[in-house]
């Protein structure tokens, strides 16, 4: 049977800044998934979209077409309301770990389908897999059981959700078309809409360690995703948050898991705690729990109880000792002054080079590798004071990690202005 369209014609249309029709988009996504459209043709179309953009109708249609290539989930049979969070990725971003149990402690179900890290940004599954025995792999039936029992689950996103996106993303990664707002928005939201949660909070990162370096670009991305969610019937909001410096005082899988437990115990770094609580309030508000005292839920142990239940339900031991690296190296202050910058990208790449991340999705990661930050932004230091501790199982990695990290550390004569974590909100 003859195909309805020709890929070359569609590529030419977008190359020439024309608006693609609903039928054209539906066909090319389906045909690419079926193998009728080649990788080189979809790569060319991605570049045309990168250069010329899409309007709102095109992005909505593109997202729906990707959803239609796979299965969708529904949580309507759960006895609890559902809500979810998605972060666009950053350095030291361990927020998912304490956030799910915190929200679940209020009787809300939090089904979080997460992924592994690639490049300088860490993956939620990598962090949780540092806990002995813990596994993200489960059937949909088991996921529902855990949600009923504990309220929170972190699972690996199945290949059946928006499979077209997986193929397209792989092309974008090798053709320099990742940081394209229509393609980022449709990639994220196709999976989140297919997941079937009733409400969604987006944590859109801004700064050197994020996809979006500029606040206005981040605001456009956030608005696009909120519109996509709203059009699909998912109650969606977004927070724009700072990713110019790492979140918290640790970067790396086991290190971040440990810090997350500190937050659940009522402590932890102030910025991690602030963002966890801000996102929890938004998620709970959309699920019908208004004016919740989420700080109290961290302090009184309710959130920790949910964490322990969630980890055990997924085969992990919440009391087990977390892995540690076999080698460490300290970076010391070269002068007196105040820490004025710890560049998120520089430290993220450094942690990746230590073994905490992967260059390809098939690469293994070291659970104990990463960076401890002893002097956050604004700290007054003296020459020779310990600033960072680097961790790895392979000491030959130190040299290249240090090459990345050192230019990202700035010490000045005056303390910097207080960092603002939450930059804007879109609903």
d(CA 173, CA 367): 25
Closest by CA position to 122, among listed 326, 370, 318: 370
- Among 187, 190, 199, 404, which one carries the catalytic annotation? 187
Q: Would you call 137 a catalytic residue per the annotation?
A: no
Structure tokens at 298: 């961290």
Q: Would you call 391 a catalytic residue per the annotation?
A: no
Q: Are residue 195 and residue 160 in the same domain, yes or no? A: yes
392-405: burial string, b at 16+ Cβ within 10 Å, e else: bbeeebbeebbebb
CB atoms within 10 A of CB 5: 17
Q: Are residue 296 and residue 365 in the same domain, yes or no? A: no
Q: Please report the pLDDT score of residue 173 as a whole number.
A: 77
Asked, for residue 19, whether it belongs to a domain, the answer is yes
Q: Would you call 86 a catalytic residue per the annotation?
A: yes
Asked, for residue 425, whether it belongs to a domain, the answer is no
In sequence order, what are the residues at sequence separation of 6 or more whose Cβ sits closer than 8 angstroms to the Cβ of residue 233? none
Asked, for residue 303, whether it belongs to a domain, the answer is yes
CATH number of the domain within which 385 lies: 3.90.1170.30
Give residue-wise pLDDT tens across range 274-332. 999 999 999 999 999 999 999 999 999 999 999 999 999 999 999 999 999 999 999 99
Please provide the size of the chain in residues.
427
Identify the domain boundary among 279, 313, 347. 313
Asked, for residue 340, whether it belongs to a domain, the answer is yes
- Among 84, 93, 126, 165, which one carries the catalytic annotation? 165
Distance (Å) of CA 28 to CA 46, 162, 190, 273, 418: 12, 14, 16, 44, 49
Give residue-wise pLDDT tens across range 42-55. 999 999 999 999 99
- Among 64, 94, 172, 273, which one carries the catalytic annotation? 172
- Among 85, 86, 273, 397, which one carries the catalytic annotation? 86
CB atoms within 10 A of CB 330: 12
Closest by CA position to 370, among listed 248, 269, 214: 248
Q: Are residue 42 and residue 90 in the same domain, yes or no? A: no
The pTM score is: 0.93
Identify the domain boundary among 313, 341, 376. 313
DSSP β-bridge partners for residue 236: 200
CATH number of the domain within which 22 lies: 1.20.970.10
Q: Please report the pLDDT score of residue 164 as a whole number.
A: 93
Q: Is 312 left (phi over 0), alpha (psi -120 to 50) or beta?
A: alpha
CATH number of the domain within which 297 lies: 3.40.1030.10
Asked, for residue 74, whether it belongs to a domain, the answer is no
CA 118 to chain centre: 11
Q: Please report the pLDDT score of residue 119 as a whole number.
A: 65
d(CA 247, CA 127): 14
Q: Please report the pLDDT score of residue 361 as a whole number.
A: 67
118 near 174, Cβ under 8 Å?
Answer: no
Surface-to-core class of residue 278, CB atoms within 10 Å of its CB (0-12 exposed, 13-18 middle, 19+ buried): buried
Total domains, the chain: 3
d(CA 160, CA 265): 36
Asked, for residue 257, whether it belongs to a domain, the answer is yes
Q: Are residue 158 and residue 16 in the same domain, yes or no? A: no
Asked, for residue 423, whether it belongs to a domain, the answer is no
Q: Are residue 133 and residue 172 in the same domain, yes or no? A: yes
In sequence order, what are the residues at sequence separation of 6 or more whose Cβ sits closer than 8 angstroms to the Cβ of residue 60? 227, 228, 231
Closest by CA position to 256, among listed 278, 276, 280: 276
Identify the domain boundary among 266, 288, 313. 313
Q: Are residue 143 and residue 44 in the same domain, yes or no? A: no
Range of the domain at 11: 7-68
d(CA 215, CA 303): 32
Closest by CA position to 78, among listed 144, 149, 157: 144
Structure tokens at 367: 């659970």
Q: Please report the pLDDT score of residue 118 as a whole number.
A: 64
Which residue do the tokens 């409400």 mark?
A: 199
Q: Are residue 109 and residue 169 in the same domain, yes or no? A: yes
Q: Are residue 246 and residue 370 in the same domain, yes or no? A: no
Structure tokens at 39: 């990788």
In sequence order, what are the residues at sequence separation of 6 or more whose Cβ sits closer than 8 angstroms to the Cβ of residue 75? 82, 109, 111, 144, 147, 196, 197, 198
CB atoms within 10 A of CB 332: 12
d(CA 414, CA 338): 6
Q: Are residue 308 and residue 342 in the same domain, yes or no? A: no
Structure tokens at 229: 């969610």
Q: Are residue 101 and residue 132 in the same domain, yes or no? A: yes
- Among 191, 192, 205, 397, which one carries the catalytic annotation? 191
Q: Are residue 301 and residue 353 in the same domain, yes or no? A: no
Q: Are residue 216 and residue 302 in the same domain, yes or no? A: yes
Asked, for residue 170, whether it belongs to a domain, the answer is yes
Under-70 pLDDT residues of the chain: 1, 117-119, 361
């Amino acid at each position: 049977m003859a195909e309805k369209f020709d890929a070359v014609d569609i590529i030419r249309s977008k190359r020439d800044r024309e608006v693609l029709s609903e039928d054209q988009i539906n066909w090319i996504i389906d045909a690419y998934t079926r193998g009728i459209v080649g990788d080189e043709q979809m790569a060319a179309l991605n570049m045309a979209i990168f250069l010329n953009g899409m309007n709102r109708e095109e992005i909505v249609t593109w997202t729906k077409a990707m959803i239609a290539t796979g299965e969708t989930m529904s949580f309507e049979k759960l006895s609890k309301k559902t809500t979810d969070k998605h972060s666009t990725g950053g350095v030291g971003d361990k927020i998912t770990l304490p956030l799910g149990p915190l929200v679940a402690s209020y009787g809300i179900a939090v089904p979080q389908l997460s992924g592994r890290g690639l490049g300088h940004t860490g993956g939620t599954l990598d962090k949780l897999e540092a806990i002995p025995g813990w596994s993200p792999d489960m059937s949909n039936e088991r996921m529902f059981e855990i949600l009923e029992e504990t309220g929170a689950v972190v699972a690996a996103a199945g290949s059946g959700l928006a499979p077209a996106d997986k193929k397209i993303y792989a092309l974008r990664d090798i053709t320099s078309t990742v940081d394209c707002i229509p393609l980022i928005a449709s990639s994220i939201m196709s999976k989140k809409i297919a997941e079937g949660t009733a409400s969604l909070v987006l944590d859109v990162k801004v700064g050197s360690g994020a996809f979006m370096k500029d606040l206005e670009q981040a605001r456009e991305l956030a608005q696009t995703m909120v519109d996509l969610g709203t059009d699909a019937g998912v109650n969606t909001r977004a927070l724009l948050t700072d990713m110019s410096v790492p979140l918290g005082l640790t970067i790396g899988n086991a290190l971040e898991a440990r810090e997350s437990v500190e937050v659940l115990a009522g402590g932890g770094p102030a910025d991690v705690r602030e963002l966890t609580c801000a996102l929890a309030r938004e998620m709970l508000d959309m699920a019908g729990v208004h004016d919740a005292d989420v700080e109290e839920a961290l302090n009184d142990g309710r959130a920790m109880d949910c964490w322990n239940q969630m980890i055990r339900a997924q085969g992990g031991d919440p009391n087990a000792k977390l892995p540690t690296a076999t080698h460490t190296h300290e970076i010391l202050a070269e002068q007196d002054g105040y820490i004025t910058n710890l560049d998120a990208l520089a430290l993220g790449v450094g942690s990746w080079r230590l073994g905490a991340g992967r260059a390809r999705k098939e690469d293994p990661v070291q659970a104990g590798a990463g960076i401890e930050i002893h002097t956050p932004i604004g700290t007054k230091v003296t020459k020779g004071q310990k600033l960072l501790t680097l961790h790895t199982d392979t000491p030959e990695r130190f040299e290249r990690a240090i090459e990345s990290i050192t230019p990202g550390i700035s010490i000045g004569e005056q303390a910097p202005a207080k960092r603002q974590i939450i930059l804007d909100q879109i609903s």
